[in-house]
């Protein structure tokens, strides 16, 4: 009798466990829809990518399931990808949202990532998959700092135009410079398809280089143009302590200045057309829109260095 009772209790416990781990009833009948699109992605919960083929990801439009699949191991890539078909009766325009079910703890997660349905289109690739993540991944694509060990003055980071300008001494070769930089949280930088490692990767900066910053979410990107110029500072003694650089040049009127000494601007006739006294380290902006278009010379003379640069206002 005890054996029979134990067997019955075992069956009951097994049924309860199965009920607790029962997956959501997410289903879709593809024959009910005219159009479809595809998505290739990975599931990421609490910063850990899924390696569980019993997990689920499902697509929804206004609460209606429009596609559902399990991740599967792609041996060649050693990664679990979900290949999801999404259906609609509207060729374009519907907003697709997503949910993920984690089998190991029987938990459903609402994913913040959405996309617009477009018939026959595809989002994500095996090299750049959609990431269905909870919590949501960072979308920041900024370069927060950027510098070289050999540079003079401060780097000029223009977040609005996504440009960075750096000056180095004229004795420095631009063909093999190693940049040190920081990015938005968990973002990555690339030149083309080559990953860039801060403090490690050397590049030829003879011409401007475009850094592609990819956000943690794997889909948000931003291109930054890095320009490196040779400074015209002529050192007398410890030049790195006394820097005078200008950017951009040519300019339409706004000039970024980094100087420790008074600034004088001369026209081609040698007449002073602008002066500014600086009694401490100053990094700022000069508005020279009042000057006519033409060629000028900015001069700065300190006790330990001499600097003269040509400025073009156009």
Of 76, 75, 80, 89, the C-alpha closest to 36 is: 89
Q: Is 256 a domain residue?
A: yes
CA distance 159 to 189: 16
Q: Do 240 and 163 fall within a single domain?
A: no
| Lookup: tokens for 124 | 């994500």
Q: Is 10 a domain residue?
A: no
CA distance 247 to 230: 12
Instruction: Please answer whether residues 262 and 300 qualify as being in contact, where contact means their C-beta atoms are separated by less than 8 angstroms.
Output: yes
Instruction: Please answer whether residues 275 and 297 qualify as being in contact, where contact means their C-beta atoms are separated by less than 8 angstroms.
Output: no
Looking up tokens 């400074």 gives 231
Q: Do 251 and 291 fall within a single domain?
A: yes
Instruction: Please answer whether residues 226 and 219 qualify as being in contact, where contact means their C-beta atoms are separated by less than 8 angstroms.
Output: no
Q: Is 199 a domain residue?
A: yes
Average pLDDT, the chain: 85
Q: Is 9 a domain residue?
A: no
Q: Do 165 and 225 fall within a single domain?
A: yes
Q: For residue 292, what is the DSSP state?
A: P
Q: What is the domain count for the chain?
A: 3
Instruction: Please answer whether residues 265 and 286 qualify as being in contact, where contact means their C-beta atoms are separated by less than 8 angstroms.
Output: no
Q: Is 64 a domain residue?
A: yes
Query: What's the pLDDT band for 98 if we cut at 50, 70, 90?
Result: very high
Q: Do 217 and 273 fall within a single domain?
A: no
CA distance 39 to 58: 11
Q: For residue 233, what is the DSSP state?
A: -
Q: Is 18 a domain residue?
A: no
Q: Of the residues 230, 252, 287, which one is the last residue of a structural domain?
A: 230
* CB-based burial, 29-57: b 16+ in 10 Å, e otherwise: eeeebebbbebbbbbbbeeeebeeeebbb
Residue positions counted in the chain: 314
| Average pLDDT of span 38-42 | 97
Q: For residue 304, what is the DSSP state?
A: S
Of 255, 233, 288, 242, the C-alpha closest to 156 is: 255
Global pTM exceeds 0.75? no
Q: Of the residues 179, 204, 230, which one is the last residue of a structural domain?
A: 230
Return the pLDDT at 279: 62
- Tell me the CATH number at 165: 2.60.40.2340
pLDDT at 99 over 80: yes
Q: Of the residues 134, 169, 188, which one is the last residue of a structural domain?
A: 134
Q: What is the pLDDT of residues 220-269, one digit of tens each?
A: 999 999 998 877 544 444 444 445 677 888 888 888 877 666 788 888 77
Pairing between β-strand 209-214 and β-strand 202-203 as defined by DSSP bridges:
unpaired
Query: What's the pLDDT band for 309 if we cut at 50, 70, 90?
Result: confident
Q: Do 284 and 202 fall within a single domain?
A: no
Q: Is 45 a domain residue?
A: yes
| Lookup: tokens for 306 | 């001499």
The parent domain of residue 50 ranges over 24-134
CA distance 273 to 295: 12
Alpha carbons within 13 angstroms on the beta-carbon side of residue 275 total 5
pLDDT at 7 over 50: no
Instruction: Please answer whether residues 229 and 149 qualify as being in contact, where contact means their C-beta atoms are separated by less than 8 angstroms.
Output: no
| Measured CA distances, 7 to 2, 3, 17, 18, 222 (Å) | 9, 6, 15, 17, 62
């Amino acid at each position: 009798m005890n054996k029979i009772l134990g067997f019955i209790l075992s069956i009951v416990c097994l049924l309860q466990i199965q009920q607790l781990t029962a997956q959501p009833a997410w289903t879709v009948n593809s024959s009910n829809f005219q159009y479809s699109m595809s998505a290739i992605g990975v599931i990421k919960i609490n910063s850990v990518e899924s390696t569980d083929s019993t997990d689920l990801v499902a697509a929804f439009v206004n609460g209606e399931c429009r596609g559902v699949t399990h991740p599967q191991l792609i041996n060649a890539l050693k990664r679990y990808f979900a290949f999801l078909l999404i259906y609609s009766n509207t060729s374009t325009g519907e907003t697709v949202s997503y949910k993920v079910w984690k089998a190991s703890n029987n938990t459903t997660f609402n994913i913040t990532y959405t996309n617009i349905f477009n018939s026959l289109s595809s989002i994500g690739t095996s090299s750049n998959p959609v990431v269905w993540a909870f919590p949501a991944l960072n979308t920041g694509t900024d370069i927060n700092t950027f510098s070289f060990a050999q540079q003079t003055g401060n780097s000029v980071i223009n977040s609005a135009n996504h440009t960075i300008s750096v000056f180095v001494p004229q004795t420095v070769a631009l063909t093999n410079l190693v940049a040190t930089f920081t990015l938005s949280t968990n973002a990555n930088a690339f030149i083309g398809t080559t990953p860039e490692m801060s403090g490690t990767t050397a590049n030829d900066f003879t011409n401007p280089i475009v850094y592609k910053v990819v956000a943690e979410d794997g889909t948000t990107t931003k291109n930054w143009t890095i320009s490196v110029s040779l400074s015209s500072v002529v050192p007398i003694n410890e030049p790195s302590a006394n820097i005078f650089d200008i950017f951009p040049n040519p300019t339409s009127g706004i000039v970024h200045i980094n100087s420790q000494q008074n600034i004088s601007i001369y026209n081609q006739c040698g007449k002073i057309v602008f002066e500014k006294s600086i009694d401490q380290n100053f990094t700022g902006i000069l508005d020279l829109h009042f000057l006519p278009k033409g060629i000028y010379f900015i001069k700065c003379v300190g006790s330990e260095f001499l600097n003269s640069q040509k400025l073009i206002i156009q």
